[in-house]
Structure 1
Amino acid sequence: MTRRPRAVAFDVIETLMSLEPLRARFEDIGLPGGALETWFARTLRDGMALTATGDYAPFRRVAEGALRAVSGQRADDAAVAHVLDGFAALPAHPDVEPALRRLAAAGVPAVCLTNGAADTTMAFLDRAELTDLVDRVITVEEVGRWKPPAVVYRHAAAVAGVPADRLALVAAHAWDCHGAKRAGLVTGWVGRLEGRYGDVFAPPDVTGDDLVQVVERLLTLDGA
């Protein structure tokens, strides 16, 4: 039986943090705005490919290479920096703060679990005035593996100080929920990005149209 989590880990990029403002930066360097999705998907693919072969590179380095590839190798250093430096101004989705406040009111700590860099994530939380609502930023840098291998999620549970089956992973990506589920975590999927959960993945324990709904449903699980 799935039990109510004692802590909740949130994916960051696209789950908490909106990439939408980067679209204009793609257009600034002569790429179509739609290249944003292609670039981020390629970044994830390349990071996962490194992990699958036992290798690791940090988010910024992988993202830079993916952007050059998407541009047909036409983006120079200045163009690449222009796009990726936009991470310093990315906002939180509007459902993030109320979801985190609901967890805090219930006495359930929240952490971040991200493929991104720790300093970028902490700056994002500070900018969005969310720092006081998040106990810890956990990054894949700490284990040298991009999500979704089980070692990443089990490391997050160890850092959060709870058994794996009492940590929830909340994400806007079905593949992330799948990885967490296979590692023994509780999972919550928010549907505002993908719209429909992928049939090939292990189903999440709860779903919701926004993060508040996901959190509310996690909190209604049996707490025994």
Structure 2
Amino acid sequence: MTAAPGPSRPAAVAFDVVETLIALEPLGERFEKVGLPAHSVREFFPRTLLYGVGLNVTGDYVPFPVAAAAAVRTIARHSLTPDQVDYVVSGMRELPAHPDVEPAMRVLNEAGIRVTCLTNGAPEVVEAFLARNGLDPLVEKVMTTSELQSWKPPAKVYLHAASELKLPPERVCLVACHAWDCHGAKRAGLMAGWVARAEGGYDEIFAPADVRGDDLVAVARGLAELPSSD
């Protein structure tokens, strides 16, 4: 009996952005300045996702900043002024990259793997983040779910990314710190790379990622070391 072939090296990687590339922890300072505990940041992103994805399920769409503002209002039990809410949300424009992001992208560049981003976030925020952190020379393209008026994880989002890259889905690898995002990519026919930064372990309810690592450099090296399909 011949064993089923394993995954091949992808032609392109599409990085998830928020939490995978962007460090959210510094946003806790802004929560404190409007009178909320710094640990509110741990509820902020999951609730933003809940609102964005939840509205999508009902056939509606809101951009990331709108869902984020609603999340802040709910966390504060609607006790903040509009200016205070805007102050917290606008902090997304100043957040740093995790220290493993640049070296991971360089590993992929050196292996000849195209580097892109696929995010629910606002395109102008993502582009500013890349420029501010000196990452824009390493990234070929930023793709956002706003182009489809749909948040991840419906299959059409991942397939749109593959189409934009002019590659078959199986030649594109989503890299994320969220197992549900990796699951969505796998179900759409893409590869997936998972970094343990946010979840610590990859739960068995999700389709297995092709490569896993404790940091992005380990994931990038794992992808670069896969056999070529050419």
| TM-score band, normalised by shorter chain | over 0.9
Query: Which residue matches 1:171?
Result: 176
- The runs of at least 4 aligned residues of structure 1 exceeding 2 Å deviation read none
**Shift, 1:152, TM fit:** 0.4
Task: Indicate whether 1:149 and 2:142 are aligned.
Answer: no
Query: Which residue matches 2:142?
Result: 137
On the 8 A contact 2:96/2:129 being kept in 1, the answer is yes
**Shift, 1:3, TM fit:** 1.8
Between the aligned partners of 2:120 and 2:197, the Cα distance in structure 1 is 20
Query: Which residue matches 1:49?
Result: 54
Query: The residue matched to 1:34 in structure 2 has which SS?
Result: helix
Query: Which residue matches 2:98?
Result: 93
On the 8 A contact 1:51/1:145 being kept in 2, the answer is yes
On the 8 A contact 1:111/1:160 being kept in 2, the answer is no
Between the aligned partners of 1:110 and 1:120, the Cα distance in structure 2 is 18
How big is each residue's C-alpha offset from its partner over 1:85-116, in whole Å with a ceiling of 9 and x where there is no partner? 11121000000000111111111111000000
**Shift, 1:26, TM fit:** 0.6
Between the aligned partners of 1:62 and 1:45, the Cα distance in structure 2 is 9
Identity over aligned pairs, percent: 52
Task: Indicate whether 1:217 and 2:219 are aligned.
Answer: no
Query: The residue matched to 2:212 in structure 1 has which SS?
Result: strand
Query: Which residue matches 1:183?
Result: 188
Q: What letter corresponds to residue 77 of structure 2 in structure 1?
A: G
Query: Which residue matches 2:19?
Result: 14
Count of residues in correspondence between the two structures? 224
Q: CA RMSD in A?
A: 0.9
Task: Indicate whether 1:72 and 2:67 are aligned.
Answer: no
Unaligned stretches of 5+ in structure 1?
none
How big is each residue's C-alpha offset from its partner over 1:70-96, in whole Å with a ceiling of 9 and x where there is no partner? 110101111111111111210000000
**Shift, 1:199, TM fit:** 2.1
Q: What letter corresponds to residue 123 of structure 1 in structure 2?
A: A
Taking structure 2 as the reference length, the TM-score comes to 0.95
Query: The residue matched to 1:168 in structure 2 has which SS?
Result: strand
Task: Indicate whether 1:84 and 2:93 are aligned.
Answer: no
Q: What letter corresponds to residue 122 of structure 1 in structure 2?
A: E
Correspondence for 1:37 among 36, 39, 42: 42
On the 8 A contact 1:103/1:109 being kept in 2, the answer is yes
**Shift, 1:197, TM fit:** 1.0
Taking structure 1 as the reference length, the TM-score comes to 0.98
On the 8 A contact 1:9/1:170 being kept in 2, the answer is yes
Q: What letter corresponds to residue 68 of structure 1 in structure 2?
A: R
**Shift, 1:60, TM fit:** 0.4
Query: The residue matched to 1:21 in structure 2 has which SS?
Result: helix
Q: What letter corresponds to residue 180 of structure 2 in structure 1?
A: W
On the 8 A contact 2:20/2:197 being kept in 1, the answer is no
On the 8 A contact 1:169/1:185 being kept in 2, the answer is yes
**Shift, 1:13, TM fit:** 0.4
On the 8 A contact 1:18/1:92 being kept in 2, the answer is yes
